[in-house]
Amino acid sequence: MTRRFRATLAWDGSAWFGWQRQVGAPTLQQELERVLALIEKAPVVVEASGRTDAGVHAHAQVISFDLQNRIPVENLHRVLNDLLPEDIRVLSVQVAAPDFHARFHARAKTYEYRIWRGSICPPFQRHYVLHFPWPLLETEMIAAAAVYAGDLNFSAFAASDPKDVHGFSKVRRVHSSLLWREGEQLIYRVRGSGFMKHQVRMMVCMLLEVGKGNLSKEELAARLQPPYAPKACAVPARGLHLLSVEYDD
Amino acid sequence: MTRRFRATLAWDGSAWFGWQRQVGAPTLQQELERVLALIEKAPVVVEASGRTDAGVHAHAQVISFDLQNRIPVENLHRVLNDLLPEDIRVLSVQVAAPDFHARFHARAKTYEYRIWRGSICPPFQRHYVLHFPWPLLETEMIAAAAVYAGDLNFSAFAASDPKDVHGFSKVRRVHSSLLWREGEQLIYRVRGSGFMKHQVRMMVCMLLEVGKGNLSKEELAARLQPPYAPKACAVPARGLHLLSVEYDD
């Protein structure tokens, strides 16, 4: 009897070439499929709520997969953490409804981007923040972050996807978009229905342009209107954290 | 004119084979001497307040060194951070008294040891804590930590040093020795006049023995009295953090 599983994972993305399996570079999907295949003694396909780029960290990514193996779920949890490297941890595993799908059923995601403002970036933070010690108009950035909330066309905030030959909609719903100062860090947190490739990193890069005085809040808002141009810049992946994924249940 | 400098450093010890220069393994002293020699265009010797083992982290280690080079101190600070890898940061540099010596003049040091008690160690913590999710008598450990405070003979809590042919005193003054629970962590913090090789890691290992019920507080106290035996065990270096070094000035 096949059981479908749902698991929640945390990982330090520093050493991984992102989620999606690829030839010649270690990826998270491959590593999870490798370990699950050891348990199943047959190939296993793992779906995540979405892909993440190389260097992006996950605090609670959700995945789904099927197993025929009759291993008790608590043992599965333990053996996964025994077999996986320390920079990937399975926080929880449960048996899911047979039609549960980590990607198709995801309703919302929350990402955080961390910018270290102090002149020296502590060595313990170096993989988890963008170090930006130069002057920024932080108050203007905080105000500009609100521009991204709503049902908006993020065409200017998505990496070109060669697979997008059908011209999929670039409209996404952003439930909340907040920037604040916390000690030596600027924290940007965004919750939305879904995000395109590089979208959050491009949104943050444009907030930095506002902070540098290169762009006003109004000019930023105009990038979300036709002609959706020019294309936004993107900040490095290391400061990006997937905090959570929400489902209907 | 030779100037003596005093600098405060933070480092992530994960990738380093400890402080002391050695052949065939990257050490912090070597890396600092390499970078300072690039600036001085001549060999430079760097002294730290004390050696640290491979894997031990520093939040504010103090070093001293001499330069003939007339570089302004602010530029020295910047160029050091430009030349050093991201896992070593110079927090501050200043010109010191000509006789200042990071080791001989150190009056007290504070170390912290972090034990992760949750069943899953977050990937972001993996290099900075000992993961010990098994049962512990934490209240007994908290009480036993006080045993280490005072002027005590730590012979049972020092790695054998082949260089110690003269039988140096193993008496050390511990100003404070505290253990507490903080969220999912047990934190042990000790401030003392100085510590011998492996001393803090051995002190923590014996507190864990109390936590496992293998040793009472009274039996632990007896190890600090003649015959100072048996020798204590030691916990892994990754959970050990040098927090600060104090000087008279």
| Interval B160-178: pLDDT, tens | 765 665 567 899 999 999 9
- For chain A, what is the mean pLDDT? 95
* A61 CB burial (10 A radius; 0-12, 13-18, 19+): buried
Q: How confident is the model over A148-166, as a mean pLDDT?
A: 82
The predicted pLDDT at position B75 comes to: 97
Q: In the predicted model, is pLDDT for residue B249 greater than 80?
A: no
Distance CA B61, CA B241 (A): 10
Q: In the predicted model, is pLDDT for residue A23 greater than 90?
A: no
The answer to whether A90 touches A169, Cβ cutoff 8 Å, is no
Give yes or no for a cis peptide into B230 (omega within 30° of 0): yes
The answer to whether B40 touches B34, Cβ cutoff 8 Å, is no
Three-state SS letters, A228-240: CCCCCCCCCHHHE
The type of residue at A112 is E
Distance CA A37, CA A67 (A): 9
The predicted pLDDT at position B23 comes to: 86
Q: How confident is the model over B56-62, as a mean pLDDT?
A: 98
| Cross-chain Cβ contact B11/A121 below 8 Å | no
Q: In the predicted model, is pLDDT for residue A234 greater than 70?
A: yes
Q: How confident is the model over A143-169, as a mean pLDDT?
A: 84
Return the closest-CA partner of residue B244 out of B62, B16, B56.
B62
Distance CA A53, CA A58 (A): 11
- For chain B, what is the mean pLDDT? 95
The predicted pLDDT at position B167 comes to: 65
3-state secondary structure of B39: helix
Residue that is written with structure tokens 């916390």 in the block: A182
Band of pLDDT at residue B80, cut at 50, 70 and 90: very high
Q: How far is B129 from chain A (nearest CA, A)?
A: 12
| Cross-chain Cβ contact A86/B124 below 8 Å | no
Which chain B residue shows the shortest CA-CA distance from A58?
A: B123
Beta pairing partners, A58? A11, A242
Share of chain A above pLDDT 70, in %: 97
- Rounded to whole angstroms, what are the CA distances from A247 to A52, A104, A210? 18, 10, 34
The answer to whether B241 touches B109, Cβ cutoff 8 Å, is no
| Interval A78-114: pLDDT, tens | 999 999 999 999 999 999 999 999 999 999 999 999 9
| Interval A185-223: pLDDT, tens | 999 999 999 999 999 999 999 999 999 999 999 999 999
Tokens of B53: 């083992």
Which chain A residue shows the shortest CA-CA distance from B11?
A: A123
Q: In the predicted model, is pLDDT for residue A165 greater than 70?
A: no
| Interval B173-224: pLDDT, tens | 999 999 999 999 999 999 999 999 999 999 999 999 999 999 999 999 999 9
Q: Are strands A108-116 and B171-182 parallel, antiparallel or unpaired?
A: unpaired
Tokens of B99: 């006789």
Nearest by CB: A86 against B11, B91, B123: B123
The answer to whether B77 touches B90, Cβ cutoff 8 Å, is yes
3-state secondary structure of B24: coil
Nearest by CB: B11 against A88, A89, A123: A123
Tokens of A122: 């502590």
Tokens of B160: 């054998």
Q: In the predicted model, is pLDDT for residue A181 greater than 90?
A: yes
Mutate to test the interface with B, among A124, A131, A134, A241 (most CBs of B within 10 A): A124
The per-residue DSSP string of chain A comes to --EEEEEEEEE-GGGS--SS--TTS--HHHHHHHHHHHHHTS----EESS---TT-EEEEEEEEEEE-----HHHHHHHHHHHS-TTEEEEEEEEE-TT--TTTT--EEEEEEEEE-SSS--GGGTTTSEE--S---HHHHHHHGGGG-EEEE-GGGS---TT-TT----EEEEEEEEEEEETTEEEEEEEES---TTHHHHHHHHHHHHHTTSS-HHHHHHTTSTT--SPP----GGGEEEEEEE---
- Provide the sign of the torsion angle of the four alpha carbons A7, A61, A101, A53, taken in this order: negative
Q: How confident is the model over A224-240, as a mean pLDDT?
A: 94
Q: In the predicted model, is pLDDT for residue A162 greater than 70?
A: no
Residue ranges of A 55-84 with Cβ closer than 8 A to chain B: 57, 81
The type of residue at A53 is D
**A184 touching B, CB under 8 A?**
no
The predicted pLDDT at position B160 comes to: 75
Cβ-count burial A156-166 (b if 16+ within 10 Å, e if not): bbbeeeeeeee
Tokens of A86: 């320390």
The per-residue DSSP string of B79-93 comes to HHHHHS-TTEEEEEE
Distance CA A142, CA A177 (A): 10
Q: How confident is the model over B85-89, as a mean pLDDT?
A: 97
The predicted pLDDT at position A213 comes to: 97
| Cross-chain Cβ contact B123/A81 below 8 Å | no
| Cross-chain Cβ contact A12/B123 below 8 Å | yes
Nearest by CB: A123 against B87, B121, B126: B87
Band of pLDDT at residue A1, cut at 50, 70 and 90: confident
The predicted pLDDT at position A84 comes to: 97
Residue ranges of A 114-133 with Cβ closer than 8 A to chain B: 120-124, 126, 128
Nearest by CB: B123 against A89, A123, A126: A89
Distance CA B224, CA A71 (A): 50
| Interval A29-68: pLDDT, tens | 999 999 999 999 999 999 999 999 999 999 999 999 999 9
Distance CA B46, CA B30 (A): 9
Q: Give the relative orientation of helices A73-83 and A28-40 as an angle to the nearest 10 degrees.
A: 130
